[in-house]
Amino acid sequence: MQKFLSLLCLTLPLLASATTDIQTPASSNVVTQKKSFSATIPAYRATYTLLHKSDPVGKAIRELSYLEDGKVKYHYETDISWLIFSDQRSETAIVNIVKNQVIPLSYDYQREGTGRDKYYQWQYDLAGKTATDLKKDNKISLDFTDGLLDKLSYHLQNRIDLIKNPAQKRFVYQVISAKGSIKNYQYEYDGEEELILPYGLVKTIRLKREVLDKKRITYAWFAPELNYLLVKLYQVKAGTEQFEAQLSTLEP
């Protein structure tokens, strides 16, 4: 079960008010950016049923919201209970969106439950080519930052890419881990499928990610009719099912 929970963490982490102040050019640009992107992906809250070998073991929430300063808050959390095991995880990414490119600013991760608790907190300065591990008070230099994403914000970038170019068949993202290393995350188009989910009947496209050295395959389904929202996730390792997530509800 511990391996299942770890795999779930690795993958599932596959979310203005008026003012009378005079706007400066910089603040005006922020508001324009916010309005432009919110038209592409409005704020939402999606809930998922988590399954392990077809048995319900918990739920997940993925949500996107807009902050007053124009930044985007993307959040994901899971709550799992199975036999004597429990696991609660939370991830939050604060990002900017510039010309449909996600620019990560900070990433927080927390895990509690059976076994060892974990907590990470990072801040990113891509212009300065640095990332700071706030937990360890350690700043590292980055050799490159073009297109660099954290372990949660790359999910948002993937959705944007699907919206802007539905015909795209291959997606590659440079992702910085919670320990500061950078890896390529690659997804390939794997077909179309009609699914019956707790949410209802939806037509989807399917992407596939295969990690050969770990004998792990992850499938992700996105619904064009829901603006390419992730509606299902399924993972197998060495031919054995690890977990499944299915969309249950969607709220603005």
What does the pLDDT look like over 63-116, one tens digit per residue? 999 999 999 999 999 999 988 889 999 999 999 999 999 999 999 999 999 999
Q: Has residue 27 been placed in a domain?
A: no
- Is there a domain that residue 24 lies in? no
What is the rounded average pLDDT of the residues 210-222? 92
CA dihedral 212, 75, 196, 10 (to 10 degrees): 20
b or e along 166-201 (b: 16 or more beta carbons within 10 Å of the residue's beta carbon)? eeeeebebebbebeeeeeebebeebeeeebebebee
- pLDDT, average across residues 173-190: 95
Which SS3 state, helix, strand or coil, does residue 31 take?
helix
Per-residue pLDDT, 241: 79
Tell me the CA distances in angstroms from 232 to 99, 162, 200, 218, one per residue in order.
28, 15, 12, 11
Residue 143 lies in a domain: yes
- Find, among 101, 43, 100, the residue nearest to 74 by Cα: 43
Position 144 pLDDT exceeds 60? yes
Residue 194 within any structural domain of the chain: yes
Per-residue pLDDT tens digits for 67-77: 999 999 999 99
Domain-located, residue 22: no
The candidate with the shortest Cα–Cα distance to 126, out of 95, 159, 100, is 95
Q: Alpha-carbon dihedral of residues 185, 190, 193, 195, nearest 10 degrees?
A: -30
pLDDT of residue 24: 38
Residue 33: per-residue pLDDT: 59
Among the residue ranges 30-39, 83-92, 123-132, 154-163, the one predicted with the least confidence is: 30-39
Do the domain assignments include residue 215?
A: yes
Dmax (CA) of the chain: 60
**CATH code (residue 63):** 2.50.20
**What pLDDT digit, counting tens, does each position of 3-34 carry?**
545 545 444 545 333 333 333 344 555 556 56
* Number of alpha carbons in the 13 Å side-chain half-sphere of residue 141: 1
Domain coverage including residue 107: 2-16+32-251
Report how far apart, in Å, the C-alpha atoms of 84 and of each of 10, 87, 104, 150, 211 are. 22, 10, 37, 32, 30
pTM given for the model: 0.86
Distance CA 50, CA 215 (A): 22
Residue 21 lies in a domain: no
Q: Is residue 25 included in any domain, yes or no?
A: no
- What's the number of domains the chain is made of? 1
Cα→Cα distances 227→42, 201, 219, Å: 10, 15, 18
